Structure 1
Amino acid sequence: MRQVNPSRLTGPPMRLRLGGELLPMVGHVRMYVCGITPYDVTHLGHAATYVWADAAERVLQWHGHTVTVARNVTDVDDVLFAEARRRGESATMLATLQRASFEATMATLQVRTPDLAPSAAQHIGHVIQLAAALLDRDAAYERNGTVYARTAHAAAQAGLDQASALQRAEEYHDNPGDPDKDDPLDIAVWQAAGSDDDVSWPSPWGEGRPGWHAECAAMVLALFGSSVDIHCGGGDLAYPHHACEAALAEAVTGVTPFARAWMRAGIVSVDGAKMAKSTGNLVLVEDLLREHSPGAVRLLLLNRPWGRAWEYDPSALDDAEALLERLYGAASSPGLAPGAAAVPAALLDDLDVSRAVAIALEDGGQAARTLIEILALS
């Protein structure tokens, strides 16, 4: 857990507003960040999620909170297994190498190492416990070695109609056409191993492996108990992943809400298409860092509303580099006293980095230095 400066606790209380809602907190803040599936290199869309989560942690710590951050690694996943088979290597080796590469990139971007770094493979037993608990609650049923959770209600809670939810379920490989399901929007908490599967674990229902949504639910419950204060992830994970994850946890514990606030970084697009390996439009962070400073990449990602989707333009990095130089210049000036307090206040207001940058440039001096320090732009 990050230690705080006690002197920051003696002034008037400061409250974070996130997603337009006040999020009062006392002392300890529990933050869970949906991590990578370690089968490929880190692109700008990944980085946006983790830089924003890091910024939120730093703002909270600046204002006297102790923050515990857990960022998982999804190292049990069909996409990872398929990529390992394609490369002719073990899934464990591929995951280890890609995880090391990701962590090195995060360190270069000054994203702090999380306090807790659970992996799905380490929490197989907790997924089995989750499945058993859901069965005990009659919130799940077992068919042919697969345990399905009753999650059809999660789509409506996420604001989706049936057709949209089915489309998303298909896109995220939740297999809505599975004939063993009571409802096509139910999800597999534990899925039975197929005849050609090479990765599985024993369970009370036979050999199999966890479902993706159940992995995150089990890790949060195991690490933090029944709920978290802030749950971070990409903007594309709202449904089915986050909605079903929350539905599983709430069905077991009876505690709502599972997450007091959701912080989903806006989707990054290139030429109008979401940045993704499947579309072939990846902008790799390691490529950007060959020509631009880590501070400029961070500023590019942060100098916008955190939840808004945006289009990447290579010229924007040059603009971010120039803006960073202006901030450094402002930091070296005498400055105006009011800005030193106005910058942290702006960051508490829904992490309004753009307003904080404008204040820092106008007031200079300590205001600019404070902004650079809080957002790790040095």
Structure 2
Amino acid sequence: MRLQLGGRLLPMVGRVRMYVCGITPYAVTQLGHAATYVWADALDRVLSWHGHTVSIARNITDVDDVLFAEARRRGESPTMLATLQRAAFEATMTTLRVRTPDLQPSAANHIGHVIALASALLDQERAYVRGGTVYARTGSAYLRAGIDRAEALARAEEYHDHPDDPDKDDPLDVVLWQETADDEVSWPSPWGKGRPGWHAECAAMVLALYGPSVDIHCGGADLAFPHHAAEAELAEAATGVMPFARAWLRAGTVMVGGEKMAKSTGNLVLVEDLLADYPAAALRLLILDRPWAEPWNWSRDALDAAAAELDDLYAAAARPDAALSGSAAIPARLLEDLDVPTALAMAIEDGGQAARTLIEMLALS
């Protein structure tokens, strides 16, 4: 099998290990998040179609300052809020025909692995302690994301990595383990009561589940820095194994009027609202009928167009076969960087089994 992903050949032999950055369970699922999970699911289905056994881990970030703040605002326990939001998220994923992952680790269940990761980095002098907080030396991790230091500092501020922390040796160092106040959620550690840093959570979960590397790491494009860059830096520094991920699938950012869809900007489009008016297959096609890495603008007109194109695909599937080679060409086309737009055009033109194959491969029924 010759999978092209991100413009490079990615040979696969046997089992494929995929890790997908999951949700912080404090709010309902929005379209930007759903895009990542639908693309990861499509890749899983394409690999499985070609005979690979795919093992997928999708984490739950249930140890997070944003989650804790939202729980306080609602007057609920963080555990209860995370449980309810996780159940709602999983119901939405089921409706969208996103397969249930083989592994669903939560940060709260991997505290010991974060402590082990921090200890390993301290042993190699890739981390240091200030008070009860452990910092990792990640000042050059931004180079992995192809950005300059000024942009890295701006993004570190945006993602609450606190580049202005005076205890850091470098503003771009990240927290492995953070000291907490007495009234905050915490766990015991060799450095006192505290909780893990965000980037360390994902690195520790991958190492615990799959060892020192994965074949494909999935997430949103907005996570390239600081999260993915720091995560890879931590794992590689701890294990000495490179690369941490053989390939990255970062789904393009979903925009509204040219601005990133985000709770902070108040421009969220909720998946549950869309599913009240449109079939799940139309929403999947809206997400998939484009190059996976490119940012794109949400509009109701675009969803209407996806629904109409889905009808065209169903009509094509009902036609007699025009060319027997079409059904074989569809799976091959999807190996070329998950080229759904070309495969869709071929399926509608050829009809018959070619269209039915695409519908089955991408769960568009």
TM-score, length-scaled by structure 2: 0.99
Aligned to 1:7: none
- Tell me how far 1:249 sits from its aligned partner: 0.1
CA distance in structure 2 between the partners assigned to 1:339 and 1:359 by the alignment: 8
* 1:115 maps to 2:70: no
CA distance in structure 2 between the partners assigned to 1:157 and 1:366 by the alignment: 43
* 1:135 maps to 2:122: yes
Aligned to 2:336: 349
- Tell me how far 1:161 sits from its aligned partner: 1.2
Look up the equivalent residue of 1:158 and give its one-letter code: A
**Alignment of structure 1 residues 1-378 onto 2, 5 Å:** 14-195=1-182, 197-335=183-321, 336-378=323-365
CA distance in structure 2 between the partners assigned to 1:159 and 1:48 by the alignment: 23
Look up the equivalent residue of 2:124 and give its one-letter code: R
CA distance in structure 1 between the partners assigned to 2:22 and 2:218 by the alignment: 9
- Tell me how far 1:64 sits from its aligned partner: 0.7
Look up the equivalent residue of 1:226 and give its one-letter code: P
The alignment partner of 2:76 has SS state of coil
CA distance in structure 2 between the partners assigned to 1:24 and 1:130 by the alignment: 30
The alignment partner of 1:134 has SS state of helix
Provide, for residues 207-243 of structure 1, a one-character-per-residue CA deviation record: whole Å limited to 9, x for no partner: 0000000000000000000000000000100000000
The alignment partner of 1:232 has SS state of strand
The answer to which of 329-338 and 299-308 deviates more is: 329-338
- Tell me how far 1:368 sits from its aligned partner: 0.3
The alignment partner of 1:291 has SS state of coil
CA distance in structure 2 between the partners assigned to 1:303 and 1:157 by the alignment: 28
CA distance in structure 1 between the partners assigned to 2:181 and 2:40 by the alignment: 37
- Tell me how far 1:194 sits from its aligned partner: 2.8
Provide, for residues 154-208 of structure 1, a one-character-per-residue CA deviation record: whole Å limited to 9, x for no partner: 012221211111100000011111111110000000001135x420000000000
- Tell me how far 1:15 sits from its aligned partner: 1.1
CA distance in structure 1 between the partners assigned to 2:45 and 2:25 by the alignment: 26
CA distance in structure 2 between the partners assigned to 1:133 and 1:296 by the alignment: 47
CA distance in structure 2 between the partners assigned to 1:319 and 1:274 by the alignment: 22
Look up the equivalent residue of 1:191 and give its one-letter code: Q
Look up the equivalent residue of 1:159 and give its one-letter code: G
CA distance in structure 1 between the partners assigned to 2:284 and 2:225 by the alignment: 27
CA distance in structure 2 between the partners assigned to 1:248 and 1:312 by the alignment: 35
Look up the equivalent residue of 1:218 and give its one-letter code: A
In the alignment, structure 1 segments of 5+ residues that lack a partner are 1-13
Identity in percent: 74
- Tell me how far 1:153 sits from its aligned partner: 1.2
CA distance in structure 1 between the partners assigned to 2:349 and 2:230 by the alignment: 45
CA distance in structure 1 between the partners assigned to 2:124 and 2:110 by the alignment: 21
TM-score, length-scaled by structure 1: 0.96
- Tell me how far 1:325 sits from its aligned partner: 0.8
Look up the equivalent residue of 1:49 and give its one-letter code: T
CA distance in structure 1 between the partners assigned to 2:121 and 2:181 by the alignment: 23
CA distance in structure 2 between the partners assigned to 1:301 and 1:161 by the alignment: 30
CA distance in structure 2 between the partners assigned to 1:145 and 1:208 by the alignment: 8
- Tell me how far 1:34 sits from its aligned partner: 0.0
CA distance in structure 2 between the partners assigned to 1:70 and 1:157 by the alignment: 23
CA distance in structure 2 between the partners assigned to 1:139 and 1:366 by the alignment: 55
In the alignment, structure 2 segments of 5+ residues that lack a partner are none
Provide, for residues 302-338 of structure 1, a one-character-per-residue CA deviation record: whole Å limited to 9, x for no partner: 0000000000011111111111111111111112211
Q: How many residues align?
A: 364
